[in-house]
Amino acid sequence: MKAKYFLILGIFLVLIFQPQPTTAGIWIRPISVKQGEIVVVSGLFYPFGNSYSLLENCVLNLENKKYAFAREIVSYENFRNSSGREGFQFITRLPTTPLTKVGTKKIILECPLGKQEFNINVLAGQFPLQNIKLTASKNALSSSEAEKKAVDLALNTFSSYKLWDGSKPWLLPNTARKSSGYGLRRTYNGKLADNYFHKGLDFAGFTGSPVVAPAKGRVVLAGKNFATQGNCLFIDHGQGVISAYLHLSSLEVQENQEVEAGQLIGKVGDTGIATGPHLHFGIYVNAENVNPEPWFQYPMP
Ligand SMILES: [Zn+2]
């Protein structure tokens, strides 16, 4: 009963207060992204002839991977300068990475009532190349099966509600200079490593310097002494967005603990495979590693 009322209110608010959609019923923004950026698709329903599919019942298909929509509460204020009332919409975020091929991509909206295709454009990101000469002895450390499984589970967490504040950018997790950027590619003895890219940003903080949560979330994995990641944290921010913190010297939070933006969660270290003390920070959207930089620059819907 309550859900029905909410649905009607939601439809009403979306009809009355949203700006003109990109297509009939859904918003795709932006339609052009650089590799590593995300495309946000939102709306309430999509018309097929004289009928409508609620987006909750649809999926988006990008390069044969399917993305479900999450329900999101939206306040009136997002649309007009009024307060105190809320509606909702459905939202999904399509990740791209340095491995996503540049060019026009088809996204297919698959609903019970039909299918519709849209185009998005993926532009080349600027990722530096690092040349590595391989020596005979490779690092003997590698993740155990249990560690891989725990990390995989953490990255695939999907909670339906968004926990971060979509009205402001994320905080930097550490104040040190960035020593290594997102998306860095590698060549080994002159040959490009096909599937490698640097899955985050490195902050050159000294051992023991504070690492804070960049946004509100819940700790889904607090790993101790993992072979490659060392002491590590994975925080679920909701709707398939997970942040990762590797090589910590200490963990200041526990699994399942809720954390606020700016809260101390750990300290910089060089545990696991690290050439020196630094924080490796990564953001995952629907289990794909995306570029954190835009998240620090503007509010992320
Ligand atoms: Zn790193």
Please provide residue 299's backbone torsions phi and psi, each rounded to the nearest 5 degrees.
Answer: -60, 135
Q: Which residue, among 124, 129, 128, 126, has the nearest Cα to 102 in the 3D structure?
A: 124
Q: How far apart are CA 13 and CA 23, in angstroms?
A: 18
Tokens of 97: 């990475």
Tokens of 100: 């996503």
Contacts of residue 269, Cβ cutoff 8 Å, sequence gap at least 6:
207, 208, 230, 231, 247, 248, 249, 250, 277
Listed in sequence order, the DSSP H helices in the chain are 2-17, 145-155, 293-297
Cα 291 to middle of ligand 1, angstroms: 12
Cα 278 to middle of ligand 1, angstroms: 8
Q: Look-up: residue for tokens 């949560």?
A: 213
Q: Which domains does the chain have, with CATH numbers?
A: 2-123 (2.60.40.1590), 129-297 (2.70.70.10)
Cα 1 to middle of ligand 1, angstroms: 50
Cα 181 to middle of ligand 1, angstroms: 8
Cα 182 to middle of ligand 1, angstroms: 8
Residues within 5 Å of ion ligand 1, judged at the Cβ atom? 202, 280
Q: How far apart are CA 273 and CA 142, in angstroms?
A: 9
Q: How far apart are CA 1 and CA 286, in angstroms?
A: 32
Cα 202 to middle of ligand 1, angstroms: 5
Q: Tens place of pLDDT for every residue, the chain, 301 residues?
A: 566 766 666 666 555 555 556 677 899 999 999 999 999 999 999 999 889 999 999 999 998 999 999 998 876 555 554 555 677 889 999 999 999 999 999 999 999 999 999 999 999 999 988 887 765 544 556 889 999 999 999 999 999 889 999 989 999 999 999 998 999 988 878 888 888 899 999 999 999 999 999 999 999 999 999 999 999 999 999 999 999 999 999 999 999 999 999 999 999 999 998 889 999 999 999 999 999 999 999 999 9
pTM of the model: 0.88
pLDDT, residue 9, reads: 64
